């Protein structure tokens, strides 16, 4: 009926569209959005503030083709490895962009609807989703200059002619926040004359124009395809830059937040178990805004953790890490943090703004250079080049201390970092190379000319099988980290939303308390962040006297609740009053 009352879903969708497209017929556009998504307007809303995760959730981050075996599609190789070697350790796999691309190892997408034939087929993604939760990248800010859309843009035909953001080269764009040093605008010859398109990241990555609602409808079709192929977790890549208004910073604009709310509304009505994750490599307080009111991202990347944790471990001082953690408010139910130390990108430095001094940041950068790292820069609104990220493998980043350089504590330091990440509030995510202790790949940097290639090594499966089955540091890292993941997954106090309080035990020790949602399990995580033995008294932890306390890592039982504990360099304890039962897969 023409005058039938609007459903709750339609009302909410129209409300979002009014903010984004105030001059359009939002009722008509809402109808098109629902039809594109094949979504019944009467679909009931999912229960708000529901945790779609628990302590068993650990994510693996990997490219589709990181593991390669002759005569086998890399996605098939990856699936076999994860299923055979990691089924007790992880619950989710983040597949970095696996589409045909022209640069940036997948993030210059040429075709959003096709799996890169060199990696496999959609059937491989579907098969993986039947054994693990799969997170896919929605590269939503930009696409490849070699895509069909951009070719159509230059030819003046749709789809594509109106898909890209143009700007006047004479406009004042000095306030625009950039993550790169390349010129913002790219001159392009088109059928309709010379144009200047917006390129936040590189001239091969041309920004899409979401002021055009047809672009939104196109991405709704893409998202629906991903849902049909079993993808349920969505990483919104570089989403902070989505909306542009010349004369502003063009980052974190209100329309961007509204677009995230709209996408979440559509996705969670289609598949209520779906999860939205925003990838916003920006200062901490800005990053936290992407939770919205528990109506934007379910998870946000904890971008301040990698530089602060690495800084603590190489300086032996946990003060900044502790101060930062104390400033992090507990996430609402139905939201949480994605904790990581390493990723396919570098160690972001913008999230340290306001947390590390210029001198401390310079010391960290020089230390990482000493360990073989490279430094990528960005251009500030004032036109200055400023360090943006450190490109280095996590294994090399933790090979020594800032004061003394490389030392014998590399493995202990590395495991300590993993132990911190796994114990913090949130869902831990391991970049695949952090499971193997992969070293800097300087040869790949030379081949690609890209600093980020240093931590994007390609493993031949014969070589990987060899190093994991012989006494190497790779084997030691893999066995130790996977054992920790199994312990972690069994502890209710490590639920991503379990209570967390920071403990004050001096700058050399980093410590916090976790308590399960039902308050039955308490767990004290205490870490020696230095290359010297450190001591503390159990009386500082205020242990419940009637409970038995065991270190889950070493399995040592502490009967004297007032006794003294000595932690060797980078040793840590997970001291719990109850032990969760470790489950082995069938």
Both structure tokens of 384? 């200055």
In order of 329, 331, 418, the CA distances from 499 in angstroms are: 11, 10, 20
| Peptide bond before residue 159 is cis, with ω within 30 degrees of 0 | yes
Place of tokens 């039962």: 581
At 476, which helix (H) or strand (E)? helix 473-489
In order of 77, 114, 271, the CA distances from 118 in angstroms are: 12, 11, 30
What lies within 8 Å, CB to CB, of 430 at 6+ separation is 58, 59, 60, 61, 90, 340, 418, 481, 485
- Cα distance between residue 76 and residue 72, in whole Å: 7
**DSSP strands (E only) in 17-131:** 59-62, 67-68, 92-95
CB-CB contact of 341 with 310 (8 Å): yes
Looking at residue 360, its pLDDT comes to 97
Looking at residue 540, its pLDDT comes to 93
Nearest CA to 565 out of 530, 543, 524, 534 is that of 534
Kindly report each contact of residues 21-26 with a partner whose C-beta sits within 8 Å and lies 24 or more positions away, as own/partner: 21/213, 24/213
Q: Give the up-direction half-sphere exposure of residue 274: CA atoms within 13 A in the CB hemisphere.
A: 26
Looking at residue 271, its pLDDT comes to 98
Looking at residue 98, its pLDDT comes to 98
10 Å CB burial of residue 564 (0-12, 13-18, 19+) is exposed
Domain 499-576 CATH assignment equals 2.60.40.1180: yes
Looking at residue 186, its pLDDT comes to 98
- Indicate the annotated binding residues for substrate: 104, 142, 235-237, 344-345, 452
Using left for φ > 0, alpha for ψ between -120 and 50, and beta otherwise, residue 410 falls in alpha
Both structure tokens of 268? 């969670």
Q: How far apart are the first and last CA of the chain?
A: 54
Nearest CA to 552 out of 485, 501, 475 is that of 485
- DSSP notation for 338-372: EE-S--SS-EESGGGTTTS-HHHHHHHHHHHHHTT
DSSP 202: B
547 is catalytic: no
- Indicate the annotated binding residues: 104, 142, 235-237, 344-345, 452
Looking at residue 2, its pLDDT comes to 58
Helix and strand totals (H; E) in the chain: 17, 27
Domain extent listing, the chain: 1-45+213-301, 142-207, 499-576
What lies within 8 Å, CB to CB, of 323 at 6+ separation is 355
The CATH number of 142-207, from 3.40.50.2000, 3.90.400.10, 1.10.8.60, 3.40.50.2300, is 3.90.400.10
Q: pLDDT 10s digit of each residue in the chain, 586 long? A: 457 899 999 999 999 999 999 999 999 999 999 999 999 999 999 999 999 999 999 999 999 999 999 999 999 999 999 999 999 999 999 999 999 999 999 999 999 999 999 999 999 999 999 999 999 999 999 999 999 999 999 999 999 999 999 999 999 999 999 888 899 999 999 999 999 999 999 999 999 999 999 999 999 999 999 999 999 999 999 999 999 999 999 999 999 999 999 999 999 999 999 999 999 988 899 999 999 999 999 999 999 999 999 999 999 999 999 999 999 989 999 999 999 999 999 999 999 999 999 999 999 999 999 999 999 998 887 888 889 999 999 999 999 999 999 999 999 999 999 999 999 999 999 999 999 999 999 999 999 999 999 999 999 999 999 999 999 999 999 999 999 999 999 999 999 999 999 999 999 999 999 999 999 999 999 999 999 999 999 999 989 888 999 999 999 999 999 999 999 999 999 999 988 877 654 3
Looking at residue 581, its pLDDT comes to 75
Three-state SS at 405: strand
Options 137, 207, 237, 551, the catalytic residue:
237
Nearest CA to 159 out of 212, 236, 237 is that of 212
Place of tokens 């509204």: 258
């Amino acid at each position: 009926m023409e005058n039938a009352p609007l459903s709750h879903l339609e009302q909410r969708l129209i409300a979002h569209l009014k903010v984004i497209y105030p001059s359009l017929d939002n009722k008509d556009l809402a109808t098109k959005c629902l039809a594109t998504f094949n979504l019944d307007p009467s679909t009931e809303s999912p229960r708000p503030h529901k945790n779609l995760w628990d302590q068993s959730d650990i994510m693996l981050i990997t490219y589709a083709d990181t593991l390669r075996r002759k005569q086998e599609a890399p996605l098939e190789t990856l699936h076999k490895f994860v299923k055979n070697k990691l089924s007790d350790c992880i619950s989710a796999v983040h597949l970095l962009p696996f589409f045909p691309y022209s640069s940036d190892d997948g993030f210059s997408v040429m075709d959003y609807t096709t799996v890169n034939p060199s990696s496999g087929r959609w059937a491989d993604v579907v098969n993986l989703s039947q054994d693990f939760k799969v997170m896919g990248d929605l590269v939503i800010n930009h696409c490849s200059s070699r895509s069909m859309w951009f070719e159509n843009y230059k030819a003046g035909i749709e789809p594509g002619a109106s898909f890209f953001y143009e700007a006047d080269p004479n406009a004042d764009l000095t306030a625009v926040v950039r993550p790169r040093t390349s010129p913002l605008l790219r001159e392009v010859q088109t059928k309709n004359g010379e144009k200047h398109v917006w390129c936040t990241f590189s001239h091969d990555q041309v920004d899409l124009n979401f002021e055009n609602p047809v672009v939104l409808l196109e991405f709704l079709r893409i998202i629906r395809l991903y849902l049909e192929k079993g993808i349920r977790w969505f990483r919104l890549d570089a989403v902070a830059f989505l909306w542009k208004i010349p004369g502003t910073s063009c980052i974190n604009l209100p329309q961007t937040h509204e677009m995230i709310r709209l996408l979440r509304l559509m996705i969670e009505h289609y598949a209520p178990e779906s999860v939205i994750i925003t990838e916003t490599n920006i200062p901490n307080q800005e990053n936290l805004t992407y939770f919205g009111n528990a109506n934007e991202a379910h998870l946000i990347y904890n971008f301040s953790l990698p530089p602060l944790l690495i800084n603590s471990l190489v300086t032996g001082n946990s003060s900044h890490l502790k101060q930062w953690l104390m400033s992090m408010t507990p996430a609402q139910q139905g939201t949480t943090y994605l904790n990581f130390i390493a990723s396919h990108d570098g160690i972001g430095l913008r999230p340290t703004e306001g947390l590390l001094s210029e001198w401390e940041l310079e010391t960290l950068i020089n230390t990482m250079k000493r360990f073989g790292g490279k430094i990528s820069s960005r251009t500030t609104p004032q036109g200055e080049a400023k360090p943006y990220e450190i490109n280095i493998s996590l294994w090399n980043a933790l090979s020594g201390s800032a004061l003394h350089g490389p030392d014998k504590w590399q493995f202990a330091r590395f495991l300590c970092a993993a132990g911190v990440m796994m114990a913090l509030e949130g869902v831990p995510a391991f970049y695949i190379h952090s499971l193997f202790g992969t070293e800097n790949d300087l040869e790949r940097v030379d081949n690609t000319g890209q600093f980020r290639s240093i931590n994007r090594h390609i493993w031949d499966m014969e070589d990987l099988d060899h190093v994991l089955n012989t006494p190497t540091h790779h084997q030691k890292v893999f066995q130790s980290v996977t054992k920790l993941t199994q312990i972690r997954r069994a502890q209710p106090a490590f639920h991503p939303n379990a209570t967390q309080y920071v403990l004050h035990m001096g700058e050399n020790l980093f410590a916090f308390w976790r308590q399960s949602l039902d308050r039955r399990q308490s767990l004290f995580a205490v870490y020696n962040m230095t290359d010297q033995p450190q001591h503390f008294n159990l009386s500082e932890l205020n242990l419940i006297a009637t409970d038995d306390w065991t270190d889950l890592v070493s399995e040592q039982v502490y009967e004297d609740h007032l006794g003294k504990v000595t932690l060797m360099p980078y040793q840590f304890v997970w001291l719990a009053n109850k032990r969760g039962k470790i489950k082995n897969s069938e």
